[in-house]
Structure 1
């Protein structure tokens, strides 16, 4: 009878790559469990998780069955018409099958399928001992790990992420013999490199975590993480502040330590004159330190380092941490001071010599385009156009600063400080920084209206320029980050609740970008743009060619942005049919605002919850199909005297009433109320299609009914093409 025993596998290595460590540990854990499962070996998953430190990957399971269950096999043989001759004797085909199975043909069983009866060999054999299978399970798990460039050591032919030094493989209290990656399994592990120089001996898997803890190794990553947060928080509170704990930095520090110890440190107050973002970036990205902030969220002269050792002389560790950041802080202060001497406005002169993109001119050219767009967008956001233009003209100047050259991630942030130092208005200074928002997925949009205007103008020009230069993303290639810019643009317009004429601004941005690029390049782009224009359509006039490209690219960019929005809403669990319903309508409109798109989509979501929604969507789909089949123009004149059936007369009356009620609601863009009112038409619509035939022989009656249906359909589709909701 099979029993269960705890299992421990530990692979000891040189320090593993910190950013890859959690993924490697998870892959090793999953690989071992998958290997057990494939072989039918039962195991207790409760409480199991990847265990790891920089020097080890481990799997510990509370219970694993000590042998496989019986292994049953079934091998299908030849059909009877092939297996037996006319006298019922075995043919060579059957004899060969039986010989391969190792039995006489008369011992074979029979089975049937759709093609008829055939011979089958069924066998049962005892399951193998788990211990005999474990080496291959571990080998498979190691081979399947995502290591793009395995490291090789010595003269061996195998490789791994880092050289391997020990292997623990215990099933219960017994060592499972195995030779993997040049090491032989044992029950001996290693403790902390500096705090425990003796081997760590495991009598059983249950001892694993506690034995290593006694050897100054916290093998549970969750326990290490909690310890880091607890110690950093306490050290910051003792320093009179609160720690800034970035999740990414926390994860890296967790992957760098086996026994983390917080060390409270400090630096000279004079460095606080430097933008705190530069100091924080240096502490976090370069040294993996945790800055300490005051109650207002401002940087103090304190920070917390994490040592991978309980030092007897903590003061020396502190000195080392303080010494290592001082030169970088000094450099940052020098760059900042020199930039202040130059001034933000004079930095802009250098943008004329910096190429933005070969076909789109210099960064100064881009700034001029963005400034013109910002000035045009500003009124829709309630922003003073002159202020928007001023902010845009200064928005890229910090790219020429020494600070941004050293800390590229401070683009915009440095500009805000330099604008403040130059006595620009607080709104302009903030907008220079906010123009880059959202900076990453999940980041907030610019908080101020002026910042939103700059963010929109910047992304409009980037999209228009990318399309004009033929840089539309293909597959995984997106050199201008146009997908990210498209989503950032859409989010800013929607979440900022800005009624910006998106279509008009796209055309304006595209026209500006089109005339920036050389005409011969424009012509090539035009020929390649979805066959929208034939090469014979290109005129010899550069102005005509640019105008044609502007219109073409404006339409292409609008479709591109809407496709990004489709994914954006899909992530919010918005059904594709609802998105299609709104997109189908707005594509027929002369103008488009994305905030209006969002409101229509939310109204459709509410409408779809109503019990009348499905029937009205199906009715509108039916109406659209009827109207499509009309030869020539669809009639629009309704003559009440030509109504024959009471159902059409009643429908006409309720449609008139619904239109009168929804006209002011549409003007107010209260789309939820519009659709709620239209939902009340369902009884009359159902009655019409039950009692009225549209395509009667009497042409006048038929046209009158078609005109009524068109009037109804136009109003049903006034918020979205609701027929898309019909399955």
Structure 2
């Protein structure tokens, strides 16, 4: 069957830059699903996206569906013919509906009976007849939260659409979508080239647009921008400061990227670099440049959508644009420094943290108390932690942070330094929000860690304490992120902190504000629950996590130590047999209702195998107990791994449920001791077979 490559392009007004990549990918994904649903054969589907266009390109698309045979079953033979073997009305009606005579029908025999059957040859529909429906189906499923109307059209899309190009090879396929009829007209660059042109063939799309100053391939455009940024910065012996999100947003703003260099007055460098960087990146989509020592340079890069014969005019214009923004930041900084952070404490009483939980002033006081408590347990200076906690939210009341919310915390650090606060306090004001996202750095100082933990625990306990638990995807107070932050700060610093102790202290600090009687258990369970996703992201097996979680260790550092030990133990040759034995032991003890301490009478041991197991257990018991008390769980499981042979021999040769009640009870006690020694680390009966 003949195949051709298909191109569909929507020429639009400027599309939202933060949505452009998602729109392009979704257009291709949805169109591919539509093709597959229509059973049309094709090679691959790719996408293009630029500020004024969305397009999909389908390689080797078949010109029609494959012909197919459809089986249409009729009435059962018993209902298709009467006693005289004449067709009934049911059979005649079915045959007429299929355009055949009853005599022409085949018969289908199954275990359940015999039916009339007609095999109909259904010719495949041409792609030209299917395309309009498939296109509209794909467009209707694009992620467009707020569609708009334009002109006299009744159709809606994310932005006005001016052209619809549909080419199957060199042929225009007539299609109507979004109020437009398809043709071969394509919009070029808004300022360069011919404005619009006729595309002769689907395969020439990208190359023809380049001649019109449009780089339609989103990934190619982003890579070109990145390469140019890196090369220009390298020539200046500076480092460009950007991330993937900024790069992609810039790529979504231009169709013909031209990287240019501009600068601002050195006097602005007296302002903290974070504030300047924020306004350059977020407000203007400029790329700041850093010196080798990490300080901000007065030179910056920006990406123009125009290849000008006189770029100095564009550079000058952008320098004029950035100057008042930087001047605002400078003014806010100088104004804020006239008032200390401590003097701003009363103003926090005018801002609610949460209606039932009080103001930011009350939250700051709670953080102060809790941070001091935590500091006393992690070898941090309690005075500094309490002070940092008290000042932790004061920078929210500064002009700079009110204008540029993204610099909260970092401005607190600068203003604390201006107030001559001790450096650990200033650092804590910045690091209190760490870790802010997956993979983010942790607080670098114990004082910072104390404040970070206090802030997160105060939020967790408060929101749970008024029964506003996160549900589904709704988590307005970012409690999941806070929980993961708590786990990371404690476990990665190996702090000997217990979640239950911390949560109960936070509850105590809240006083009478909380109404949920189950706050402590719910918060601890919620935080421990985050360990599952956190550890799975690190490649830890689900069964290993379940084995440790079954013991509900509430000290995160202890939890991680157990995880590491069990993961190592699982790789041992003895692991599978010991896991199976533990499962057998657990089932026996549960069925018999045996719990508590194991009291074994050595005089009641009869069989050599049970005596050997008893001796082996006594040999490792002290080692296991001491190692577990010191969180040396690897040593615990290494010692217990030596029990494989006596355990196997016990189950091969000893009947646990002996007729003699005393002997039976003694053997159950032996198993109870065995089980209890393993449970000092985890419930390894939950480990899956390798």
TM class, shorter-length: over 0.9
Q: Does 1:70 align with 2:32?
A: no
1:361–1:69 distance in 2 versus 1, CA, 3 Å: closer
Q: Residue 60 and residue 670 in structure 1: after superposition, are their counterparts in 2 closer, same or farther (change >3 A)?
A: same
TM-score between both structures, scaled by the size of structure 2: 0.96
Q: How big is the shift at 1:198? A: 4.2
Displacement of 1:39 in angstroms is 2.7
| Alpha-carbon offset, residue 483 of structure 1 | 1.9
What per-residue deviation string (whole Å, max 9, x for no partner) do you get for residues 94-151 of structure 1? 1111111011112122223453221222111332322332232222222222223322
Is the Cα contact below 8 Å between 1:383 and 1:449 reproduced in 2? yes
Residue 269 in structure 1 maps to residue 266 in structure 2:
yes
SS of the residue 1:341 aligns to: coil
SS at structure 1 position matched to 2:338 = helix
Instruction: Tell me the distance in 2 between the aligned counterparts of 1:256 and 1:506.
Output: 47
Aligned position for 1:628? 590
Q: How does 1:653-692 map to 2 (within 5 A)?
A: 653-692=615-654
Q: Does 1:510 align with 2:472?
A: no
1:614 aligns with 2:576: yes
Equivalent in 487, 509, 519 of residue 553 of structure 1:
519
Which of 292, 316, 319 is the aligned partner of 2:316? 319
DSSP-derived class of the 1:89 partner:
coil
Does the residue aligned with 1:51 lie in a helix, a strand or coil? strand
> In 2, are the aligned partners of 1:452 and 1:496 still within 8 Å (CA)?
no
> Structure 1 pair 119/575, CA: closer, same or farther in 2 (3 Å)?
farther
1:233 is aligned to: 230
Q: Look up the SS of the partner of 1:19 in the other structure.
A: helix
Could you tell me which of 315, 323, 338 is aligned with 1:341?
338
Shift of residue 174, structure 1, vs aligned partner: 1.6
Offset of 1:351 from its aligned partner? 2.0
Q: Secondary structure at the match of 2:109?
A: strand
1:719 equivalent to 2:676? Answer: no
Deviates more, 1:552-561 or 1:603-612: 603-612
2:2 is the alignment partner of 1:6: no
Alpha-carbon distance in 1 for matches of 2:191, 2:391: 54
Q: Is the 8 A contact 2:409 2:432 kept in 1?
A: yes
Q: For residues 97 and 316 of structure 1, do their structure 2 counterparts lie closer, same or farther at Cα, with a shift above 3 Å needed?
A: same
Which residue does the alignment assign to 1:584?
A: 550
Per-residue deviation, 1:448 = 2.3
Which SS does the other structure have where 2:659 is aligned?
Answer: coil
Residue 122 (structure 2) pairs with residue 122 (structure 1): no
Match of 2:51 in 1: 54
By how many angstroms is 1:268 displaced?
Answer: 0.8
1:399 aligns with 2:361: no
* Map 1:405-554 → 2, pairs under 5 A: 405-513=402-510, 515-517=511-513, 522=514, 525-526=515-516, 549=517, 552-554=518-520
Over 3 Å counting, the alpha-carbon distance change for 1:683 and 1:74 in structure 2 is same
Residue aligning to 1:155: 152
Which residue of structure 2 lines up, in the alignment, with residue 546 of structure 1?
A: none
Structure 1 contact 634–706 (Cα < 8 Å) conserved: no
Residues 1:350 and 2:312 are matched in the alignment: no
Query: Are residues 634 and 257 of structure 1, via their aligned partners in 2, closer, same or farther at CA, if it must alter by over 3 Å?
Result: closer
Equivalent pair of 1:391/1:431 in contact (CA under 8 Å): yes
Q: Distance in 1 between matches of 2:122 and 2:589?
A: 71
Native 8 Å contact 1:634 1:707 kept in 2: no
SS in 1 for 2:182: strand
Question: Within 2, Cα distance between the matches of 1:631 and 1:675?
Answer: 26
Check whether the contact 2:589–2:595 (CA below 8 A) recurs between aligned residues. Answer: no
Cα distance change on mapping 1:114 and 1:440 into 2, 3 Å? farther
Contact 1:218 1:259 in 2 (8 A): yes
User: Which one of 196, 200, 203 corresponds to residue 199 of structure 1?
Assistant: 196
Whole-Å Cα distance in 2 between the matches of residues 470 and 60 of structure 1?
51
Kept after mapping to 2: 8 A contact 1:627/1:710? yes
1:654 and 1:681 in contact (8 A); partners too: yes
TM-fit CA distance, 1:360: 2.1
Whole-Å separation in 1 of the counterparts to 2:123 and 2:353: 71
SS across alignment from 2:54: strand
Could you tell me which residue of structure 1 aligns to residue 19 of structure 2?
20
Distance 1:399 1:623 in 2: 58
> Which whole-Å CA distance do the structure 1 matches of 2:630 and 2:368 have between them?
32
Residues 566, 634 of structure 2: 8 Å contact kept: yes
CA distance, structure 2, for counterparts of residue 78 and residue 299 of structure 1: 83
CA drift of 1:231 comes to 2.1
Query: Partners in 2 of 1:584 and 1:573 — Cα distance?
Result: 19
Cα distance change on mapping 1:201 and 1:155 into 2, 3 Å: closer
User: What secondary structure, in the 3-state scheme, does the structure 1 residue paired with 2:9 have?
Assistant: strand
Q: Which residue of 1 aligns with 2:534?
A: 568
**d(CA) in 2 for partners of 1:163, 1:306:** 25
Q: Measure how far apart 1:621 and its partner are.
A: 2.6
* Runs of at least 5 residues in structure 1 that lack an aligned partner in the other structure: 527-548
Q: Secondary structure of 1:146's partner?
A: coil
User: Where does structure 2 lack aligned partners over 5 or more consecutive residues?
Assistant: none
**How far off is 1:635 after superposition?**
6.6
Query: Aligned to 2:531, what secondary structure does the other structure show?
Result: helix
Q: Which residue of 1 aligns with 2:383?
A: 386
Q: Which residue of 1 aligns with 2:661?
A: 699
Aligned to 1:35: 34
Q: Separation in 1 of the partners of 2:659 and 2:114?
A: 64
| In structure 2, C-alpha distance between the alignment counterparts of 1:584 and 1:183, rounded to whole Å | 62
Q: Deviation of residue 600 (structure 1)?
A: 0.5
Shift of 1:68: 2.2
- Residues of 2 paired with 1:92 and 1:356: CA distance? 77
Residue range with higher mean Cα deviation, 224-233 or 35-44: 35-44
Q: Is the 8 A contact 2:189 2:195 kept in 1?
A: no
Distance, in Å, in 1 between the alignment partners of 2:122 and 2:469 is: 61
C-alpha contact 2:48 2:218 (8 A) present in aligned 1: yes
Per-residue CA deviations over 1:591-620 (Å, capped at 9, x if unaligned) read x31110111112112222223223222322
Q: In structure 2, what is the Cα distance between the partners aligned to 1:700 and 1:139? A: 79
Kindly indicate whether the alpha-carbon contact (under 8 Å) linking 1:471 and 1:479 is maintained by their aligned counterparts in 2.
Answer: no
Tell me how far apart the structure 1 counterparts of residues 68 and 303 of structure 2 sit (CA, whole Å). 53
Distance (whole Å) between structure 2 residues aligned to residue 478 and residue 229 of structure 1: 35
Give the deviation of 1:459 after TM superposition.
1.0
Q: CA deviation at 1:657?
A: 1.0
The equivalent residue for 2:601 is 639
